[in-house]
Chain A
Amino acid sequence: MGLQLYDYVLSGSAYKARLFMALLGLDYQSVSIDFHPGGEHKKSDFLQINPAGTLPVLVDGDLTLCDTQAILAYLAHKFDTTNQWYPTNDPVATGRILQWLAFAGRLTDTAGAARLHDMLGRSLDIDAARKGAHKALRELEAHLTEQGFRGHAFLIGSKPTIADIACFPYTALAPDGGIEHDDYPAIRKWLIAIRRLPGFIEMPGIHRLHDMRDEDGG
């Protein structure tokens, strides 16, 4: 049996797994979970699979992974023959990647939370969520600015890694939660660099670069 992804189309976290599998050229079976309005991820059938009640979940044979960043690391280890996306033979790169994977959790908890509030009416402290998101985006902007001086387009170096995939969706989707990209020119350039990657796929709210489409293709 191949890869199975418990998925929800509007989930930025599930999109990390979908995007990475697309970039790696992997086939998988998608199992759609009615996150909203059904709340299927909090019901007993799904809790048997993931007691935490979160999406996405990746199943590969006997293995079930319920953490998005762990899914990215596993997929890179198992399927990336180039060793580009998670170069574990390089301790410095590994340490840096793990740091940005943890940072991606902060983006989910702030920018992602603000988006849930604005889009799906989730009850939470929206001011705190937006403030936390801007604080995180300032850190990301400062780092990407320095990377630019080093001639590096991505978080770790000149090539994208799973750190970029982990941080991309909730940064790109931040305006859905009232967090604009206006203040962050280095982030805007990085978002375009990721959207330019061969094999890039869209999700609602994150579209392909229009200048890479045909004039009438829409």
Chain B
Amino acid sequence: MNADHSEFVEGPDGWIPVALSVDLPEAGVMRAVIAGAQPLDLVVWRSRSGQVSAFDNRCPHRGMRLSFGFVRGERLSCIYHGWQYGEDGGCRHIPAHPDMTPPTSICANTYACQDHDGVVWVSKGADNSDDLPNFGGQGLRSLSVERGETVLRKLLAETHLPVSLTSDMQMAEAAIATQTRTSLVLEARSDAKNLRLMVHFQKITPDRTMLHVQTSPELPAELRISLSRWAERFRWSAENLGTMINSWDATSQETHP
């Protein structure tokens, strides 16, 4: 197990990125897994009015995955028997007993959840959004990589980014502008202005990471496509570098501010 594996989930205020905001539309329901001493399997959903919530991914009734469920207005409904839960996790409605007010003891286990700066964040602990970054990025894409986070941070520090729109794509060396517990900001100089790439890390397992990638806002479609292809190439390199990388993983003791 990686040395830096558990700190990301165990801290009381540890916000974890689980999705780009654009990938969880209104009435959207998704599953998110977070590594840790006790891995979390969560349902993350957005109500009709746009409120995001995160629960343990099991219905208190029969244990069905709530991520198979669907959103009804401001409630999440289980696919199995239709029990409905509000954003506080409390059961609001049981179709088999339509006239009964469900007791407050029927409650999904909830987590703090925030839609902030274009990213959906989840925390096991306190709900303090002051700790969340403000990079002002625009969602590019999320992609999973069969590598641990430490290796990916090292590889990102050496990457080159596409910065121009011409068919003979210009690549520019990227430098790390900022690095935080959850995120890394790369900056590359292009003709017009600096291109920024925000990468937010979600550990799925010690050897598997979801990257949530944002860019400087309002890039043209052609450049966004180039950056998406860069992300594909980056993943390929990360997953195919072999033994050298494995030894990095084993020796790394790094922590991040």
Contacts and interface: CB of A to CB of B under 8 A. Distances in A.
A189 B72 CA distance: 18
Describe A's contact surface by its main secondary structure: helix
A210 B70 contact: yes
A183 B141 contact: no
B77 interface: yes
Interface residues of A, number: 18
B133 to A, nearest CB: 20
B71 interface: yes
A211 B20 contact: no
Contacts of A182: 30-33, 144
Contacts, number: 45
A180 B31 contact: yes
A61 B20 CA distance: 51
The dominant DSSP class at the B interface is strand
A32 B35 CA distance: 46
A183 B30 contact: no
Contacts of A194: none
Contacts of A146: 225, 228
B71 A149 contact: no
Contacts of A145: 141, 228
A210 B48 CA distance: 13
Interface of A: 141-142, 145-146, 149-151, 180, 182-183, 185-186, 188-189, 209-211, 215
- 9 closest Cβ pairs, A-B complex: A185-B23, A210-B70, A183-B144, A149-B221, A149-B224, A145-B141, A146-B225, A182-B31, A211-B27
